[in-house]
Each structure stands twice: as structure tokens, then as C-alpha cells.
């Protein structure tokens, strides 16, 4: 089966940001997406097509336009976020973002209307009902389908870095899982989710898609839910490794890192360099280590089995990407990646709040709500927001 790839003339960037809707008083998840989306639509203007529903009625997704760099994407999403907040506030609904809700529980009423969603839950059963998860997806344009899988394969070397930086799902249904990113472990249980196959050529991917369609594994390309995947209709490679990030500041930094990584690999490929690859067992182990230990993970660097603390490797990576960042106009945004280990990743901040609050997980949601409003990480206070209504 031929899968058409629509080339991107420039290495543009786009972002999809999933947000949870929570009750202002209880801080539990609230199934208000329909009402929020209706109020956003009534507002008209620039938000048309920029805010969508998702699998669950407690979720909305903010979608940026096609942007030149991370600063532009963050500014774009900030304006959309303001429109969504204006729609949610009168409904008594707050916005928060993390890979999981600290104490939320599944119920059938959360499922959005639609035959596709109902079929997914019917097929996947218990695992499908665990998908109370939120993520950040970053698209970067490529000008040829032939580049997709060489770049994708090389990106897998840096997937644990992205996962560790954005890990924000230590808590699951009221329990500390011991993982920095429980979302990463949960999501890969769905059919066609998890790590991608290591194809070398686009034609191999087309053969895979044909097989999956003929055997009924998927109904369309969108059902391939890999951590990193092609988005053929957009002409992009889509990085879906990241947990949901709680603030625009972190979104901006991570978007810059993904953008620079893809553009750097693209340039190296054009220059005739053979991009690095790594045995899939090391890739799989790195995913587990980053999910389990976050910024304290030691990652496998190459086929020889050399290892290094992920934050040490990240520091060198940011230095190596400086020339690309200058060309893309995102030097400051890329430099802001260093702020995440310095202030603590979200999983660390959430645990600090929970500890300071004597295990009160409502306080953790308070902190997530406050951070999203502030646009940047806040010191762990372990107490409820003074302005909470």
C-alpha cells in the first residue's frame, strides 16, 4: 500500500498539548470537555480548529499552528490557553497538565462520544480503561519521506532524555508508583503503541501499514500510536515520548530541544553522514530506565553498552545543538532546558508537594493548577492555593 508523504518545504514545528479538566473544588477530573469546547467555539476568532476533544470527556487538546520555532509555538499556545481558560472559568473548571492525574479514577462516563473510541475500549478492555493519561506531541517538518526512518531511528537515542525531562506521572489512582513516568509504561500496553519498529526505508513502512490494515489491527494510519511516528499527511515526524508538561515554560524548552534534534539529524543526513543506531534491546532498556528513574537514570549510549547519567549527557547535547538553535532562532528556548533539572522535573515537584502536605494529593493538583496559571514551575508549598474557590 502506498502511503503518500506530503513534504514540508521548511523544518517547521507544531505542538499538540493535552490538558486535564478538573473541578475547582474537589480537584477531581470533571467531564466538561463538551461544555468547554462549546464555549470556546462561541468565542470564535483564532481558536477555530485549535482546541479539540480527545478520547475522554475530561480532556481538551490545544493545537498550535505551523510555527518557525519554539518561541512562536509557545506564544501561539499561550493565546489559545487563555481562550480555553476564559471558557472554563465560568463553569467552575480548572486546567492542569501532567502525565497522569494524581488520584483520578476511570469511569465509563468519561469516554467521549464516537464509535471509534467505543471500539477502542471494547477491544482493549482493562488496559484501555487505564488511559487516564496526558501527553505533549511535537511535530517537525521533513522534506522527504526517505529521511523519516533514518531520523526516527537516530531520535530513539535521545528519547530517554525527553522522557526524563518531562516525566510527570509518578502518581496513579492515589498511589505513588515508584516511577517518574508511569504514563510511559501504561500507554505502551495499547496495540500499536510503544516503541516504533526500526525500518530503514519508507517502503518497509508502507508494507507494515498494508499488513496492519489487511489483518484488522488498525483502521487507519492514526491508529499507529508509536512513541515517535511519521505523520504523512502533515509531512512531519511526530515525537510523542513526552508526558504532559505542566507549564508553558517547560513546553517551550522541550519543543526547542525536539526541533533542534530533528533539524540536526536532517542536516547530518543531507551531509552524507550515516546516522547512529542502537540495538532495540538497548532502546527498550533506556525507555524503562527513564520511566523508572527520570533525571536520575543512567542511559545506554551505544551498541558497545557505554552508560552515562542522562543529565550529564543532556548537558553535552545542548552544547552540540547550539549552532542549530541559532539558525532556528531558539537559542534562549533551548538554554531553558537546563532549568528543568535545576528546578526539578514535574515528577519531583509533585512528590515534594505531596510530602510537604502530609500525603494530601489534592494539594498536588492545586500545585499543577497554579503552575499552569503561572506559566512556570513554582516552589513546592504543600498547601492549597490561597485563591482557590
The pLDDT of residue 380 is 58
Residue 382 within any structural domain of the chain = no
Which residues span the domain enclosing 46?
Answer: 13-374
Residue 224 within any structural domain of the chain = yes
Closest to 314 (Cα-Cα) out of 109, 112, 134, 160: 160
pLDDT above 60 for 383: no
* Distance in angstroms (rounded) separating the CA atoms of residues 15 and 238: 9
Total-model pTM: 0.94
Rounded to an integer, the average pLDDT of 10-23 is: 97
Query: Minimum mean pLDDT among 10-24, 344-358, 368-382: which range?
Result: 368-382
In order, the DSSP letters of 285-346 are HHHHHHHHHGGGPEEE-STT--EEEHHHHHHHHHHHTHHHHHHHT-HHHHHGGGHHHHH--H
Count of the separate structural domains present in the chain:
1
Residue 6 within any structural domain of the chain = no
Q: pLDDT tens-digit profile of 173-182?
A: 999 999 999 9
For 50, other C-beta atoms within 10 Å of its C-beta total 19
pLDDT above 80 for 37: yes
At how many degrees (to 10) do helices 70-88 and 33-43 cross? 110
Q: Label residue 253 by pLDDT band (50, 70, 90).
A: very high
Q: What is the DSSP letter of 273?
A: P
The pLDDT of residue 305 is 92
Query: Minimum mean pLDDT among 61-65, 130-134, 321-325, 373-377: which range?
Result: 130-134
Residue 206 within any structural domain of the chain = yes
Residue 387 within any structural domain of the chain = no
Q: pLDDT tens-digit profile of 201-233?
A: 999 999 999 999 999 999 999 999 999 999 999
Rounded to an integer, the average pLDDT of 353-376 is: 97
* Mean pLDDT value across the chain: 93
Rounded to an integer, the average pLDDT of 196-200 is: 92
* Distance in angstroms (rounded) separating the CA atoms of residues 330 and 73: 11
The pLDDT of residue 389 is 30
Work out the percent of the chain whose per-residue pLDDT is above 70: 97
Residue 1 within any structural domain of the chain = no
The pLDDT of residue 189 is 87
Residue 38 within any structural domain of the chain = yes
Q: What is the DSSP letter of 3?
A: -
**CATH classification of the domain holding 41:** 3.30.590.20
Residue 167 within any structural domain of the chain = yes
Q: Label residue 279 by pLDDT band (50, 70, 90).
A: very high
Amino acid at each position: 500500500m502506498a502511503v503518500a508523504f506530503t513534504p514540508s518545504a521548511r523544518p517547521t514545528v507544531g505542538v499538540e498539548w493535552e490538558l486535564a479538566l478538573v473541578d475547582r473544588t474537589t480537584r477531581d477530573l470533571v467531564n466538561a470537555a463538551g461544555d468547554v469546547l462549546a464555549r470556546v467555539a462561541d468565542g470564535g476568532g483564532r481558536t477555530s480548529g485549535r482546541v479539540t476533544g480527545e478520547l475522554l470527556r475530561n480532556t481538551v487538546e490545544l493545537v498550535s499552528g505551523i510555527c518557525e520555532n519554539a518561541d512562536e509555538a509557545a506564544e501561539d499556545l499561550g493565546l489559545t490557553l487563555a481562550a480555553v481558560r476564559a471558557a472554563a472559568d465560568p463553569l467552575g473548571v480548572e486546567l492542569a497538565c501532567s502525565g497522569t492525574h494524581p488520584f483520578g479514577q476511570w469511569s465509563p462516563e468519561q469516554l467521549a462520544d464516537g464509535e471509534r473510541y467505543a471500539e477502542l475500549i471494547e477491544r482493549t478492555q482493562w488496559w484501555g480503561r487505564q488511559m487516564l493519561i496526558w501527553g505533549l506531541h511535537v511535530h517537525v517538518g521533513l522534506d522527504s519521506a526517505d529521511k523519516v526512518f533514518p531520523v526516527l531511528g537516530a531520535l530513539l537515542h535521545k528519547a530517554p532524555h525527553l522522557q526524563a525531562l518531562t516525566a510527570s506521572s509518578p502518581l496513579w489512582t492515589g498511589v505513588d508508583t515508584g516511577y517518574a513516568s508511569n504514563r510511559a509504561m501504561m500507554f505502551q500496553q495499547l496495540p500499536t503503541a510503544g516503541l516504533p519498529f526500526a525500518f530503514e526505508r519508507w517502503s518497509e513502512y508502507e508494507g507494515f501499514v498494508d499488513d496492519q490494515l489487511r489483518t484488522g489491527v488498525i483502521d487507519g494510519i492514526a491508529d499507529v500510536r508509536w512513541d515517535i511516528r511519521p505523520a504523512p499527511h502533515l509531512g512531519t515526524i511526530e515525537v510523542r515520548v513526552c508526558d504532559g508538561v505542566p507549564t508553558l515554560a517547560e513546553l517551550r524548552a522541550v519543543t526547542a530541544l525536539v526541533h533542534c534534534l530533528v533539524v540536526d539529524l536532517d542536516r547530518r543526513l543531507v551531509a552524507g553522514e550515516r546516522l547512529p543506531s542502537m540495538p532495540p534491546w538497548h532502546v527498550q532498556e533506556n525507555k524503562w530506565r527513564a520511566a523508572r528513574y527520570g533525571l536520575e537514570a543512567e542511559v545506554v549510549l551505544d551498541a558497545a553498552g557505554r552508560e552515562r547519567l542522562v543529565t550529564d549527557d543532556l548537558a553535552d547535547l545542548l552544547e552540540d545543538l547550539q549552532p542549530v538553535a541559532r539558525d532556528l532562532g531558539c537559542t534562549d528556548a533551548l538554554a531553558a532546558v537546563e532549568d528543568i533539572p535545576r528546578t526539578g522535573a514535574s515528577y519531583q515537584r509533585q512528590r515534594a508537594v505531596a510530602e510537604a502536605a502530609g500525603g494530601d494529593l489534592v494539594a498536588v493538583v492545586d500545585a499543577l493548577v497554579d503552575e499552569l496559571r503561572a506559566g512556570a514551575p513554582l516552589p513546592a508549598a504543600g498547601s492549597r492555593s490561597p485563591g482557590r474557590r
